[in-house]
Chain A
Amino acid sequence: MSVPQAQFGQLNPVLSVSEFTALIKDVLEETFDAVAIVGEISNAKLYPSGHWYFSLKDKDATISCVCFRNAAQYLKFELEDGLQVVAKGKISVYPPRGNYQIVVTGLEPVGIGQWQLAFEQLREKLDKEGLLDSERKRPIPATPRCVGVVTSIAGAALRDILSVFKRRNPGLRVIISPSKVQGEGSAEEIAQAIESLNEVPGVDAIIVARGGGSIEDLWSFNTEIVARAVAASGVPTISGVGHETDITICDLVADLRAPTPTAAAELVSRGHMEMASAWTNLHRRLIDRITEKLATARYRFEKADPWPELLRYADRLQHLHLKLQNLRHKLLNTSETLLAENKHRWTMAYEKLMVLGPLNVLQRGFAVLRNQDGEIITKAHKVKEGDTVEALLAKGKLKLKVIECESDWY
């Protein structure tokens, strides 16, 4: 390229502003078509067109930069004043204004990874809006009947989640809202899948899940669109993205963070498991109490019921009756024996009496004399003349008058 020697006083070709500017543009743009400049961002501004305008500066110099939308869309982080970056691109001269700027095709933060920076920036932004506040967190229903799952239909996360539900919470209704979980357009799909589930009536909780992967693989869950969809969900959300150590923006915005998809499903089922054991417990207590009460009642009932007593009394009566019969029998026997014995004795006594008694004597011609008082008279001087006495004969009696008394008759 030939540059005219433009020196005053010498005969040089006179160039128009446009011609000269075109020369500058050629020189600069051909010389600096791939540069990398480190500096601090200032006056960063995002235009509605999607282009970023900013300056890069250091202690002594400033240079204007633009990052057009086609490059800006791949930036993970937001441009902030004060941020140290390495800008890659080329110089561009703008003839109408006579200025130059760097057209940036790539930006990388200095001293911090771009992913981390992006993460921190989004977190700070959402935090300022209050979307990460713990007061925003809603409780997940203890025993949800229907759970929505946002994840890839062919991923390991879905299989893990369904297997937990099958084991721990088989009655649960599960609605899968499928979505890509990595790559171009996945963030938008995840956001859409969350919104769709919000349109289905009866969904009690939404699990947003993805299996483990690199930070790039998990990036969709660190995007603002997903964060806002999670925040806007009318249904409480549980985030289960990546492995235990991965923390995503989605985790932070969700109502509950689970370390893994499996853990998310377990958290959803926990209440069900607890309720199941609470039920088992209550059921056993219910049965125990009523058994106890019935046993007590039965005891009291039996205690109050006269029938067993009556039965016992009847037994006693029966016993007494038998005893009585026994006694009677014995008594009869005894009296018969006694009677028989007495009869014998009586006969004996009678016979003896007959032999020895007065009648026998009387039969032989003797008589018994009795005074009027019925006393037997054995001595003559017991009566006097004129007394009436009675003579008992073997048969009949005589009333006699005493004519004479003599002491001796022999």
Chain B
Amino acid sequence: MSKEKDFESTLKDLEKIVGKLDGEIKLEEALELFEEGIKLSSDCEKFLTTAEQKVELLKRQADGTATLEVFVEVAAE
């Protein structure tokens, strides 16, 4: 999925396409819409199934700048 286009707007575009497919349209048009829709749908799927949890730890340095590092979960106190 492109960075400018988030999941929500992709889903909205998909909804529009499915809405158009609900109507009476020509088959060529329907196939074009389907092609476009299936692309959006697989984008959505990719977004939903990215399974890796990314957890980072923000650390404030002595000079006041903030840096991020990968968070390794520590045992509970």
A residues with CB within 8 A of B: 142-143, 145, 148, 153-156, 159, 162, 165-166, 170-178, 192-193, 196-197, 199-200, 271-272, 275-276, 278-279, 282-283, 285-286, 289-290, 293-294, 297
Name 12 A/B residue pairs within 8 A (Cβ), A-sorted: A153-B57, A154-B74, A170-B52, A170-B53, A171-B47, A175-B55, A175-B57, A200-B58, A272-B48, A275-B7, A293-B30, A294-B27
Contacting pair B6 A143 (CB below 8 A)? yes
Q: Which residues does chain A contribute within 8 Å of B21, judged by CB atoms?
A: 285-286, 289-290, 293
A196-B74 contact in complex given A175-B56, A289-B18, C-beta closer than 8 Å: no
> Smallest CB–CB gap between A191 and chain B, Å?
13
Q: Which residues does chain B contribute within 8 Å of A199, judged by CB atoms?
A: 66
| Selected contact of B15 from candidates A155, A196, A282, CB within 8 Å | A282
A276 to B41, CA, bound (A): 11
Q: Which residues does chain A contribute within 8 Å of B77, judged by CB atoms?
A: 154-155
Q: Which residues does chain B contribute within 8 Å of A148, judged by CB atoms?
A: 58
Q: Which residues does chain A contribute within 8 Å of B37, judged by CB atoms?
A: 286
B residues with CB within 8 A of A: 6-8, 11, 14-15, 17-18, 21-22, 27, 30-31, 34, 37-38, 41, 44-45, 47-58, 60, 66, 68, 71, 73-74, 76-77
Contacting pair A293 B54 (CB below 8 A)? no
A53 to B8, CA, bound (A): 57
Contacting pair A286 B48 (CB below 8 A)? no
> Smallest CB–CB gap between B72 and chain A, Å?
10
A174-B54 contact in complex given A275-B8, A276-B48, A279-B41, C-beta closer than 8 Å: yes
Q: Which residues does chain B contribute within 8 Å of A285, judged by CB atoms?
A: 18, 21-22
Q: Which residues does chain B contribute within 8 Å of A293, judged by CB atoms?
A: 21, 27, 30
Q: Which residues does chain A contribute within 8 Å of B54, judged by CB atoms?
A: 172-174
> Smallest CB–CB gap between A323 and chain B, Å?
42
A1 to B11, CA, bound (A): 90
In the complex, the 9 A-B pairs of residues with the closest C-beta atoms, listed nearest first = A171-B50, A289-B21, A290-B34, A177-B58, A154-B77, A279-B44, A173-B54, A174-B55, A297-B27
A169 to B22, CA, bound (A): 31
> Smallest CB–CB gap between B59 and chain A, Å?
8
A55 to B67, CA, bound (A): 50
> Smallest CB–CB gap between A205 and chain B, Å?
14
> Smallest CB–CB gap between A2 and chain B, Å?
62
A167 to B66, CA, bound (A): 29
> Smallest CB–CB gap between B53 and chain A, Å?
5
Task: Contacts A162-B53, A283-B44, A285-B18 known; list 16 others, CB within 8 Å.
Answer: A153-B57, A153-B74, A154-B74, A155-B77, A159-B76, A171-B51, A171-B53, A172-B54, A174-B71, A175-B56, A178-B57, A200-B58, A271-B8, A286-B21, A290-B21, A293-B21
| Selected contact of A275 from candidates B11, B41, B60, CB within 8 Å | B11
> Smallest CB–CB gap between A31 and chain B, Å?
50
Contacting pair B60 A283 (CB below 8 A)? no
Q: Which residues does chain A contribute within 8 Å of B71, judged by CB atoms?
A: 174, 176
Residue of A nearest to B41 (CB): A283
Contacting pair A154 B57 (CB below 8 A)? no
Q: Which residues does chain A contribute within 8 Å of B6, judged by CB atoms?
A: 143, 145
| Selected contact of B11 from candidates A154, A165, A279, CB within 8 Å | A279
| Selected contact of B14 from candidates A162, A170, A279, CB within 8 Å | A279
Contacting pair B60 A170 (CB below 8 A)? no
A176 to B56, CA, bound (A): 6
Q: Which residues does chain B contribute within 8 Å of A159, judged by CB atoms?
A: 73, 76
Contacting pair B14 A286 (CB below 8 A)? yes
A153 to B75, CA, bound (A): 10
Q: Which residues does chain A contribute within 8 Å of B44, judged by CB atoms?
A: 279, 283
Contacting pair B52 A200 (CB below 8 A)? no
Q: Which residues does chain B contribute within 8 Å of A289, judged by CB atoms?
A: 18, 21-22, 30, 34
Residue of A nearest to B35 (CB): A290
A282-B41 contact in complex given A170-B53, A174-B53, A178-B57, C-beta closer than 8 Å: yes
A143-B45 contact in complex given A170-B50, A176-B55, A197-B58, C-beta closer than 8 Å: no
> Smallest CB–CB gap between A185 and chain B, Å?
14
| Selected contact of B38 from candidates A178, A275, A278, A286, CB within 8 Å | A286
Contacting pair A282 B58 (CB below 8 A)? no
Residue of A nearest to B56 (CB): A175
> Smallest CB–CB gap between A232 and chain B, Å?
17
A192-B27 contact in complex given A286-B34, A286-B38, C-beta closer than 8 Å: no
Contacting pair B18 A200 (CB below 8 A)? no
